[in-house]
């Protein structure tokens, strides 16, 4: 098996694109650290285009970190402003919602355990 | 204990300071998400003053993500350029070394499982 590189710049990572043609958002999620790395965590780099409003639930524990832009995150109905330098913990099983109003938001999303590959994070 | 949703800005997060004389590195690590939050992952925001050269081994799987500044990360003696937007995976038990030659480097350290709390990450 080919060795999975342990060092990656986000611009070179495998990307999953989300479009409003088939979902609620225009976004790109780059999978920096994936299940195939065999680690206890997964790391995605996401850019979300405004306006965006999406929600869901993860089985994994998730922490989101805002690299740029501003948005709002709800976790189980609790509202948090979410701007550069903020981290939000979304415990596994809780309901989240993320909205972005004005400018592109760039985020880092950390999962434990790493999520299965696919178009859902 | 089940985890609760949390938002922390790095500037308000509990901080651990490392001094050159005592710890061999001048740095501040802010614990954005930590073990006592009841989660499987840890997220630290760290600023490391240049020049820095420190090394270690963690039991946890860990990802370095560079927010700003340039450095080098070695994983089991394999050298990786480490600048903004780069993620480097250090699996539990691997030896890492982080070198910051010229300017303060700001990084996120992502762990799973969440490390024990104290003066060692």
Structure ipTM: 0.94
**Terminal C-alpha separation, chain B:** 23
Burial B81-92 (b: 16+ CB within 10 A, else e): ebebbbbbbbbe
Mean confidence (pLDDT) of chain B: 94
pLDDT surpassing 60 at residue B121: no
For the cut 90, the answer to whether the pLDDT of residue A2 exceeds it is no
Among A15, A30, A37, residue whose Cα is nearest residue A112: A37
Q: What is the pLDDT of residue A3?
A: 78
Indicate the class that CATH gives domain A39-116: mainly beta
Asked whether the beta carbons of B86 and B65 are under 8 A apart, the reply is yes
Number of domains within chain B: 1
Q: Indicate whether B4 belongs to any domain.
A: no
- pLDDT score of B3: 86
Best mutation target, A75, A112, A113, A115, to test chain B (most B CBs within 10 A): A112
In terms of pLDDT, which residue wins out, B15 or A2?
B15
Using pLDDT thresholds of 50, 70 and 90, give the confidence band for residue B74. Answer: very high
Pick B43's closest partner by Cβ from A10, A65, A90: A65
Cα separation values, A29 from A25, A81, A94, A119, B19, Å:
11, 21, 21, 9, 37
Chain B contacts of A88, Cβ < 8 Å?
Answer: 5-7
pLDDT at A117 over 90: no
DSSP reduced 3-state for B63:
strand
- Which of A75, A85, A113 is opposite residue B11, by nearest beta carbon? A85
Helices marked H in chain A — which ranges? none
Partners of B14 on chain A (C-beta within 8 Å) are none
Backbone angles phi, psi at B79, to 5 degrees: -95, 135
Q: Which domain holds residue B42?
A: 38-112
Q: Tokens 């909205």 identify what position?
A: A99
d(CA B110, CA B89): 9
Tell me if B91 is assigned to some domain. yes
Average pLDDT, integer, range A73-101: 97
> Does residue B65 lie within any of the structural domains?
yes
Residue pair B23/B53 in contact (Cβ under 8 Å)? The answer is no
> What contacts B38, CB < 8 A, 6 or more positions away?
A91, B1, B2, B3, B4
Q: CB distance A87–B33 less than 8 Å?
A: yes
**Sign, Cα dihedral of B26, B115, B89, B83:** negative
Query: Is residue B120 very low, low, confident or very high in pLDDT (cuts 50, 70, 90)?
Result: low
Chain B partners within 8 Å of A87 (Cβ): 6-10, 13, 32-33, 43, 45
pLDDT at B119: 62
Answer yes or no: is pLDDT of B80 > 90: yes
For chain A, the domains span: 39-116
CA B61 to chain centre: 12
Chain B CB contacts of A46 under 8 Å are none
Global pTM exceeds 0.90? yes
Q: Are strands A95-100 and A71-75 parallel, antiparallel or unpaired?
A: antiparallel
B45 within some domain: yes
Instruction: Name the DSSP letter for residue A85.
Output: T
pLDDT score of B78: 97
Asked if pLDDT for residue A120 goes beyond 80, the answer is no
Sign for the CA dihedral angle at B16, B19, B24, B25 comes to: positive
Which residues of chain A form beta strands (DSSP E)?
7-9, 15-18, 27-33, 42-48, 52-57, 61-68, 71-75, 78-82, 86-90, 95-100, 105-112
């Amino acid at each position: 098996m080919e060795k999975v590189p342990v060092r990656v710049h986000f611009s070179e990572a495998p990307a999953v694109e989300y479009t409003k043609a088939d979902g609620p958002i225009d976004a790109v999620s780059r999978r920096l650290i994936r299940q195939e790395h065999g680690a206890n965590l997964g790391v995605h780099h996401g850019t979300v285009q405004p306006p965006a409003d999406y929600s869901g639930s993860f089985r994994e524990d998730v922490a989101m970190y805002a690299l740029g832009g501003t948005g709002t995150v709800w976790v189980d109905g609790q509202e948090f402003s979410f701007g550069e330098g903020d981290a939000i913990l979304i415990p596994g099983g809780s309901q989240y919602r993320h909205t972005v109003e004005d400018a592109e938001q760039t985020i880092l999303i950390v999962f434990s355990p790493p999520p299965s590959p696919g178009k859902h994070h | 204990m089940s985890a609760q949703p949390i938002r922390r800005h790095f500037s308000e997060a509990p901080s651990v300071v490392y001094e050159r004389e005592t710890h061999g590195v001048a740095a501040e690590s802010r614990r954005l998400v930590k073990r006592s939050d009841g989660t499987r992952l840890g997220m630290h925001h760290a600023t490391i003053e240049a020049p820095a050269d420190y090394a270690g081994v963690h039991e946890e799987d860990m990802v370095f993500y560079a927010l700003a500044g340039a450095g080098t990360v070695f994983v089991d003696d394999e050298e990786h350029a480490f600048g903004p937007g780069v993620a480097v995976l250090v699996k539990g038990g691997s030896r890492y070394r982080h070198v910051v030659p010229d300017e303060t480097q700001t990084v996120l350290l992502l762990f799973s499982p969440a490390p024990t709390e104290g003066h060692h990450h």
